[in-house]
Amino acid sequence: MSGVNEPEGAPMNCLYYLTEGQFSQINRWLPSEKSGRGRPPKSSNRDALEGILYIRRTGTPWRDLPQEYGAWHTSYMRWQRWVERGVGWTILKVLQRFKRINLQLVFLDSTVVRAHQHAAAALKKRASKRSAARAAD
């Protein structure tokens, strides 16, 4: 997991977190936006990356990503694809070099096993009562 550091003097609602120079160094690791296949993407790699950094910085759920960064699902899927290709780790290492994030390993131990939400309210099955005729047998 990564902790993203706030740049000095930048407000929390700042749209772009990275400078142009920093993004240009990261952008060479990202897949091209113009692959020639399918329709062009609605959001740029810059918007997707900034949205990903916003999620990592604030800890908000993906669905709460502000619309300024594009659709939350687009940013989420790009991040998943980048991680699968190994680009995600490279991006984090470059950001660490810029002193924009602090990479740490976090191990969580949970002894609680959550049940399905309906599991606690389920009615218990009772043994059916035997009829009087069958009980006499």
**CB-count burial class (<10 Å; 0-12, 13-18, 19+) for 74:** middle
Chain segment 56-107, per-residue pLDDT in tens: 888 889 999 999 898 999 999 999 988 898 888 888 888 888 776 666 655 5
| Eight-class DSSP state of 68 | G
Domains in the chain: boundaries: 2-34+41-103
Q: What is the pLDDT of residues 6-44, one digit of tens each?
A: 444 444 445 777 888 888 888 888 877 776 677 777 788
